[in-house]
Structure 1
Amino acid sequence: GNQTFHNYLLEARDRTLQAFEHQDYPLEELVEKLDVARDASRNPLFDTMFVLQNTESQEAKLETLSFSPYVQEHSISKFDLTLSMSDEDGEIQGSFEYCTKLFGADAIERLTRDLIAILSQVGINPDLL
């Protein structure tokens, strides 16, 4: 409620770093211990995802082999909503993948505009409440 965006971001960073300590914990074991109701058509713990790809995606060459990034097109969204962001040549690029049964293109366009407006404002003043 009364926390600045900057402080919220620091808190989120700390929680994320703490969560990395448990990243190898088996998902199925966690779901079992939490005794979550299972539905084969849904993820048992979360429906939205944020992905920050901060590694370079460029060609790599070995002696006689060369590797280049492969852009895979998805026809089915794995989650209700996924926001993927990456650093491309010094610019942040983002894309949404979403379930079309839940969201229309107009809703995603509004969400994109709102997110850009929020990021623009906190970029100017990270101490906003």
Structure 2
Amino acid sequence: PGSFVFDPFVGTGSVLVAAAARGALCFGTDIDIRVLRGKGGRKIADNFRQYGLPLPELARVDNSEGFRCLREMPIYHAIICDPPYGVRAGARKSGSRRAVVKPIRDDLRADHIPQTQPYHAVDVMADLLSMAARTLLLGGRL
């Protein structure tokens, strides 16, 4: 209870539901804003409400960019996740295959979904371990 837990591949939030049920304060990120906002009328928050749990903090983050939006200091008691392995739906990172990328007009930014490209499992794990080394408290768990 009272632990600060982070899931960098939050998806449906099921891993954080288990942590919240044990009293953890939860934070989750995902690259897909549609997952964070909810699809088909279903939202991550619904999973927490169903069990009467406090809602997690959520943010759209591209893990391949070194978790730049996260604090560069030991802050988490645990990092728990089910990273994408590329078997069913491979991991993605921000980026375009085009050599020249056009800027998005200001009036279209609110609903813009950035282009993504494959994020290979080896890179996913390397970035996850690097981030864990910088943000886990001494004695924290990955």
TM (norm. structure 2) is 0.22
Q: Which has the larger radius of gyration?
A: 1
In the superposition, the TM-score normalised over structure 1's length comes to: 0.23
